[in-house]
Amino acid sequence: MRNPLSRYENRRGKPAPPQGEAYSTETPVAGCYRIRLTKGGPFVALRIWLGHPIDPATGEELTERGLRWQCRLNGTEFVPVEDYWPGCAKHRISPHEYARICRLSRTMDPKHPFYDPKRPINRMAAPVPF
């Protein structure tokens, strides 16, 4: 009887390198990520963490409530983590890169085509982003 693994012995090339840690599509991983909201648009920064909910009026943690997954877009807007996970999982960035993207988005002119990352971009007429 033939060994079922023998078909891989004559394979050309090297085995594929490992692609990093596997991630769950159900459970987010805390960290900083980048993602594009439209095709050809600028990168936006996401920060995902597990913590107490934050009061939108005061900005303080509500410690009497339980922990939950939270997501902040460009350092300003709280968004549902379900809308972005696992789509952002491939593009993990450092906290320094997260801060840089947030700083660039805060200092951008509102008339600039890349100001709103959700707006479609005409790449032929738009200036270089950042």
pLDDT at position 47: 92
pLDDT at position 64: 82
pLDDT at position 59: 77
pLDDT tens for the chain, 130 residues long, are: 555 555 555 555 565 555 556 666 778 889 999 888 877 677 888 999 998 888 878 878 888 888 889 898 888 888 888 888 888 888 899 999 999 888 887 776 666 655 666 666 666 666 665 5
pLDDT at position 120: 64
pLDDT at position 103: 84
pLDDT at position 88: 84
CA 28 to chain centroid, in Å, comes to: 11
Long-range (24+ apart) CB contacts under 8 A made by 94-100 are: 94/32, 95/32, 97/32, 97/34, 97/45, 98/32, 98/34, 98/45, 98/47, 99/75
